[in-house]
Amino acid sequence: MCGIFGYVTKKRAVGGPRALGAALRALRHRGPDDEASIELTSGDSRCGLAHTRLAIIDLSPAGRQPMSTADGRFTLVYNGEVYNHPELRKQLEALGVSFRGTSDTEVLLEAFARWGEAAIPRFRGMFALGIWDADRRSLLLARDHMGIKPLYFTAGPDGLAFASEVRALVAAGFAEPRPSRRAIASYLATGSVAEPDTIFEGVSPLPPGTILEYTDAGPRLSPYWELPLETAPPADRASAIEDVRATLADAIRLRLVADVPLGVFLSGGMDSTVIASFAARASSRPLNTFTVTFDEEAYSEERHAAEVARRIGSEHHQVRLSGGETMKSLPAAIDALDQPSVDGFNTYFVSKAARAAGLKVALSGLGGDEVFAGYASFSRFGPLLAAGRAGRRMMPLFDRAARALGKPFGALPQRGRKLLDALRAGGSPEKTYGVMRSMFDLGQISALLSPELAHEAASLPLNVPERLEPLVERGAMDPENAYSALEISNYLRNTLLRDTDVMSMSHALEVRVPLVDHVLVERVIRLPGDMKVGGGLNKPLLAAAAGDLPESVLRRPKMGFCLPFAEWMKGPLRGWAEEALLGEATRRLGFLNADAVARLWRAFLEGDRRVSASRVFCLITLAAYFGSHEALF
């Protein structure tokens, strides 16, 4: 796990030691164990590569990057872990390749030297990489199938640059420190900046499962993997469950390999319990497990996590978090964000505790809800689509009702507004999902933003897998699987994975996510939706595949792993929240309607149930992000 940066250019005034040094400083938190950079020339092309290292596999200098092949043709910088590298190593050795060390980095490099782009789909894990080919004077970028590891690039007449974090591109002088208007609107719509945008104009994320090759002819993008969409009922339900169980066990086992101490984030919910249980059976020594607990009983999972820890015999660590302690750490947590996000703060605090306990690797249950249909929304999606289609003739009535609502934060509660907007979507999976996942609706965004920015919200894109809508229309894809595909392509990709990466790496901790293993996802998303919802259990397919789970895990109501910000913002965090929302720094931003924000804050403090804590915290985080990163802008 590391931070990577690089560029290719023909311009003498671009790049060089100063840019490489600035990128290393910006990415140092991601890899405190080592750092190095190099500039290579081929003809009139110059390629600079920089790497900060968090050593996990092969801690010796043999794993140092940038890494070149013996003949000097290929040079690699790489962030992530490829878990099937022992298998790939054996295949390459059979072809006559010899290795200097035991790192997965060297396997990736030699695999590319031998197989070219065809090597990329063979990698099972999480990765973002850049490879310079001196012979062809080309730079190749690739990102893992699911988008677990981030990779950003900017391309123009001066060449191309890439990095693990967008701020490294700004620090190195390859991106203008200019906030994107559409990204701000996107953040208010969903609570994070959605791809294909980033918070900086001119900087783009490389899509998951995609290769970018940059040559003298410019950039060429080519996908090497796509999320399967067609539902394929199994011949035998029991064998399908057994196949999921075997793939799940394999995904977890592969992620236990490390040359450094490793642990598991354990909340006591189903996802983390399954991972901890499988990991405990596959491990030769007791696991370290970590959970965050709170004084507020309604939010704390202390008892459930402790029960699971006793059951599997782990060395359990509890991190007690109070509002006062959070207040002290929130500025650092906001500063850790590469882009604004309303999520990820729980990962920041549990990662901090795990690193303080000496761990460098932790397994997380992230992705279980999106892959195995863990939200109530999965059951609601189909009926909402059907109601929207049935009510298409009533669209004028729905539109009149929407206009009658009047003010953006008017009389109808947020759930009622969402239901009406979902019906107005007319049965479109894309539009219905957009409503269900919205933080603020279009009218509210227009009220909160300055007039010149408000119109951006109307044109915001969703990441919709190709062919999804017609497949749902003709019944070739279950609504549950359509919702899962949309969750994976949007919320998981834009919020959960990105926040987990940046918040854990701010503490130089590698977080592995076995439930987002692309082989497992391929198996699960093809199975019929009725295997994943219903039967009185949350995530019945995961429960069946896991086998022997305690009743307390199987039967307890679903509880999200979140911090009690609603209580804290009216208590120990109130001063910080008011300064972020109403202070001079926020007014200087210029894009928020200060009067509308102030009215919303007062309504929240007065207990107005139409103003949820999550929406208020969304605004606070946006303002605090720009305040914390003011030097960048």
DSSP per residue, 180-226: -HHHHHHHHHHSBPPTT--SBTT-EEPPTTEEEEEETTEEEEEE---
Span 11-70, pLDDT tens digits: 988 999 999 999 999 999 999 999 999 999 999 999 999 999 999 999 899 999 999 999
How far CA 224 is from CA of 111, 144, 339, 579, in Å, comes to 16, 10, 27, 47
Span 472-525, pLDDT tens digits: 988 889 999 999 999 999 999 999 999 999 999 999 999 999 999 999 999 999
Least confident of 158-172, 403-417, 579-593, 600-614: 403-417
Question: Between residues 73 and 405, which one has the greater pLDDT?
Answer: 73
Please determine, for residue 272, whether its predicted confidence score (pLDDT) is greater than 70. yes
Q: What is the mean pLDDT of residues 448-462?
A: 76
Give the count of beta carbons closer than 10 Å to the beta carbon of residue 86.
Answer: 13
Q: pLDDT confidence of 450, banded at 50, 70, 90?
A: confident
Span 353-396, pLDDT tens digits: 889 888 899 999 999 999 999 999 999 999 999 988 887 777 66
Query: What is the predicted pLDDT for the residue at 559?
Result: 55
Query: What is the predicted pLDDT for the residue at 622?
Result: 93
Query: What is the predicted pLDDT for the residue at 1?
Result: 72
Query: What is the predicted pLDDT for the residue at 558?
Result: 60
CA-CA distance, 211 to 623, in Å (whole number)? 35
- Could you tell me which residues come within 8 angstroms of residue 374 by beta carbon, excluding any fewer than 6 positions away? 270, 271, 368, 538, 539, 558
Query: What is the predicted pLDDT for the residue at 321?
Result: 72
Amino acid at 26: A
Query: What is the predicted pLDDT for the residue at 402?
Result: 60
Q: What is the reported pTM?
A: 0.94
Please determine, for residue 298, whether its predicted confidence score (pLDDT) is greater than 60. no
Please determine, for residue 411, whether its predicted confidence score (pLDDT) is greater than 60. no
Q: pLDDT confidence of 77, banded at 50, 70, 90?
A: very high
How far CA 255 is from CA of 117, 195, 258, 517, in Å, comes to 25, 27, 8, 10
Whether residue 482 contacts residue 429, with contact meaning beta carbons closer than 8 Å, is answered with yes
The proportion of the chain whose per-residue pLDDT surpasses 70, expressed as a percent, equals: 93
Whether residue 429 contacts residue 486, with contact meaning beta carbons closer than 8 Å, is answered with yes
361-363, strands of its sheet edge to edge: 315-321, 288-294, 262-265, 361-363, 510-512
Query: What is the predicted pLDDT for the residue at 283?
Result: 86
Least confident of 106-120, 149-163, 318-332: 318-332
Query: What is the predicted pLDDT for the residue at 52?
Result: 98
Average confidence score pLDDT of the chain: 90
Tell me the DSSP string of 311-346.
Answer: HHT-EEEEEEE-HHHHHHHHHHHHHH-SS-BSS-HH
Q: pLDDT confidence of 172, banded at 50, 70, 90?
A: very high
Query: What is the predicted pLDDT for the residue at 45?
Result: 94
Least confident of 136-140, 141-145, 322-326, 572-576: 322-326
Span 512-551, pLDDT tens digits: 999 999 999 999 999 999 999 987 788 999 999 998 787 7
Query: What is the predicted pLDDT for the residue at 562?
Result: 63
CA-CA distance, 257 to 46, in Å (whole number)? 37
Q: What is the mean pLDDT of residues 187-203?
A: 94
Report residue 611 as tokens: 């103003």
Q: Is 568 exposed, middle or buried (0-12, 13-18, 19+ CB in 10 A)?
A: buried
Please determine, for residue 166, whether its predicted confidence score (pLDDT) is greater than 80. yes
Q: pLDDT confidence of 460, banded at 50, 70, 90?
A: confident
Report residue 355 as tokens: 């690193």
The label of the residue with tokens 């402790």 reads: 306
Query: What is the predicted pLDDT for the residue at 475?
Result: 84
Give the count of beta carbons closer than 10 Å to the beta carbon of residue 393.
Answer: 8
Q: pLDDT confidence of 399, banded at 50, 70, 90?
A: low
Least confident of 191-195, 291-295, 345-349: 291-295
